[in-house]
Amino acid sequence: MKQTCLLLPIVGLALAGCGDVPFGFGTGPAPAQNVVVQRPGSETLRPPARPGDGRGLELGEDGQSVGGLNGTTPQNAGGALGETLASLGSPTEQGLWLRTGLVTRVQQGRVEQEDGGGAVRVELRPSGAAPGAGSQLSLAAFRALDVPLTQLVTLRVFAN
């Protein structure tokens, strides 16, 4: 008898939390709620469209897109400008670029790792320093070449 008296309150408490159980215990599942979806009208504020044709940001003097600059090129495209030791340039400057003393004006080019690693097309930017003074390579170019950001990398530089 004592066991029955203790068992009934425990069963009652257990069943009290079963309001959504579909076996006749409780009230059953909650009724479905109506959901209203509104589509934006012509007076809804929207961000301005980006310039260009929507295929990416425009870079360089000739208006090439980021997608067009990011890739490898054949070995014989353009003349060799020399070799340089490059460190990471300013991470706030976006795009694929190399700031070097090997050029005196902004132009398109290509860099490839000396050890036969990757190659990537970049915008060559003048640094104003002597050709042997070293260079700075953009964060995006470091990533495209799959080089650790803290490493100095020896690059062969080619003009297009």
> Is the pLDDT at 120 greater than 90, yes or no?
yes
Distance CA 87, CA 147 (A): 11
| CB contact set of 114 (below 8 Å; sequence gap of 6+) | 83, 154, 155, 156
Sketch out the chain's domains with CATH numbers.
58-159 (2.40.40.10)
* 140 CB-near residues (< 8 Å, 6+ apart): 70, 94, 95, 96
Range with lowest mean pLDDT among 39-48, 87-96, 130-139, 146-155: 39-48
When pLDDT is cut at 50, 70 and 90, the band that residue 67 belongs to is low
Q: How confident is the model at residue 100 (pLDDT cuts 50, 70, 90)?
A: very high
- The string of pLDDT tens digits covering residues 25-62 is 555 566 666 655 566 666 666 666 656 554 444 444 44
Nearest Cα to Cα of residue 116 among 145, 81, 159: 145
